[in-house]
Amino acid sequence: MKRSPNNFFWTNSIRAIGLAAVIMIASAVSAAAQKQYDAGVTDAEIKIGNIMPYSGPASAYGIIGKTMSAYFRMINDAGGVNGRKINFISYDDAYSPPKTVEQARRLVESDEVFLIFAPLGTATNAAIQKYMNTKKVPQLFVATGASRWGDPEHFPWTIGWQPNYRAEGRVYAKYILEHYPNAKLGVLYQNDDFGKDYVLGLKDVLRDRYDKMVVASAPYEIAMPTVDSQVVAIKTANPDVFLNIATPKFAAQAIKKVAELGWHPVHIMTNVSASVGAVLKPAGLDNSTGILSAGYQMDVTDPQWESHPGMQKYRTFMAKYYPEADKAESGPLTAYNTSTALVEVLKRCGDNLTRANVMKIVADMDFEIDTYIPGIRIKTSPTDFYPIEQVQMMRFGGEKWELFGPIIDGHAE
């Protein structure tokens, strides 16, 4: 039986339409597979949230948020990340946990950000950790070294960045045992997770010797105006080593008070307060000379790094995008480094910009940033959410920090 030309035409037309439809559906499926977005992401932008203490007792850290904003302006001027501009939304919480909760809800529920990046403060981040994990929104590169940010089993949406405080505390305890094994210790510490983590690190290493070696221990609250009375009380016990476990404002006060008292202990201070511009200058460079700490990023006041390509790139960025910042402050370099890491993660996500994929990428990092001390490596795994765990001891020489000794790993033994 012969088919009429008309039937032949219609049959072929239907086949062609059907084939075109199949191709269109396949293309749409393929495009969808190639581009996967969660809230806060479009073809044109990625919304990144941030919470920072621009006011309040930790306002010295506000420069970090300002530098991040400048960094993302630079990224956007260069075309963004994989063609998408960064829309950086940063709010002030005044270092107050209830305000942090309010700002986190605002960012997630009202601004609909893709993730919250580098929110600063231990107690403040602790206040939003459960919320962020319930909402399944990344709490990424938390700007505090509390050990609680490295718990992927219970909090898979939270990851820290800097060496954790407990590990840093272990490094100081190892140093004390090696160089001052019979010393009496005096400990000033912030009475929250930040301070207590360092104390736990000391106890990890000193163990049953802790109670014998520590002859004075004085906590302080961040609502207090000064720590002068705590420093006086510690000096009364006449320790050989003074551990200054404090955030910038209080660390500077402690340095000043130690000098006023004419006291000359071996003075060890936390890395978070190692900024020459924000802490040591206000405390007095003469008063600060000889203080020990531990570092992992290049010291912006150290001439040895000025010719290093990474530092030159950083200086060029600051000169163009944040020229008014104090060049002696370490906060801007901290911001530059973590922002560099975020851009690296977003680049690796490609067009799969889902929150789950971000956490998959950050759980498999292994790279270096060229403004960290050579040898310091960013490394994670699905069971290790501590990106940086190495530091090097350093001593303040009156103008700059001087690194000495080997790079020390703060892993628990």
Looking up residue 236, the CATH number of its domain turns out to be 3.40.50.2300
Do 253 and 402 reside in the same domain of the chain?
yes
* Structural domain includes residue 40: no
Same domain as 403, residue 255? yes
Same domain (yes/no): 291, 171: yes
Task: For residue 212, tell me if it sits in a domain.
Answer: yes
213 part of a folded domain: yes
pLDDT (mean) for 182-198: 95
Number of Cβ within 10 Å of residue 7's Cβ equals 10
For 197-306, where are the E strands, in sequence order?
214-220, 241-245, 266-269, 292-295
Domain assignment of residue 387, yes or no: no
Please indicate, yes or no, if residue 82 is contained in any of the structural domains: yes
Residues 193 and 266 in one domain: yes
Same-domain check for residues 61 and 115 = yes
One domain for residues 155 and 253: no
- Same domain membership, residue 403 and residue 359: no
210, with CB counted inside 10 A (0-12, 13-18, 19+), is middle
Residue 39 lies in a domain: no
Q: pLDDT category, 49, cuts 50, 70, 90? A: very high
Give me the pLDDT at residue 5, please: 53
181 plus 277 within the same structural domain: yes
| Window from 77-81, 162-166, 172-176, 213-217 with minimum mean pLDDT | 162-166
**Beta bridge partner(s), residue 243:** 187, 268
| 128 occurs within a structural domain | yes
The predicted pLDDT at position 410 comes to: 78
pLDDT tens for 328-385 read: 899 999 999 999 999 999 999 999 999 999 999 999 999 999 999 998 999 999 999 9
Name the residue among 241, 291, 242 with its Cα closest to residue 271.
Answer: 291
The pLDDT of residue 3 is above 70 = no
Using a 10 angstrom Cβ sphere, with 0-12 exposed, 13-18 middle and 19 or more buried, the burial of residue 61 is buried
What range defines the domain where residue 222 resides? Answer: 166-295+394-409
- What H or E segment, with its residue span, contains residue 77? helix 62-77
What gap in Å lies between CA 404 and CA 294, rounded to an integer? 10
| Total-model pTM | 0.80
Of 385, 396, 390, give the one whose Cα is nearest residue 369.
Answer: 390
pLDDT of residue 21: 53
Other beta carbons less than 10 A from residue 283's beta carbon: 23
67-92 pLDDT, tens digit each = 999 999 999 999 999 999 999 999 99
Shared-domain flag, residues 291 and 311? no
Helix (H, G, I), strand (E, B), or coil: what is residue 252? helix
Q: Domain for residue 123, yes or no?
A: yes
pLDDT for 261 equals 98
Mean pLDDT of 202-229: 97
Whether residues 251 and 373 fall in one domain: no
What's the total number of domains in the chain? 3
3-state DSSP assignment of residue 88: strand
Residues 221 and 109 occupy one common structural domain: no
> Same structural domain for residues 88 and 67?
yes
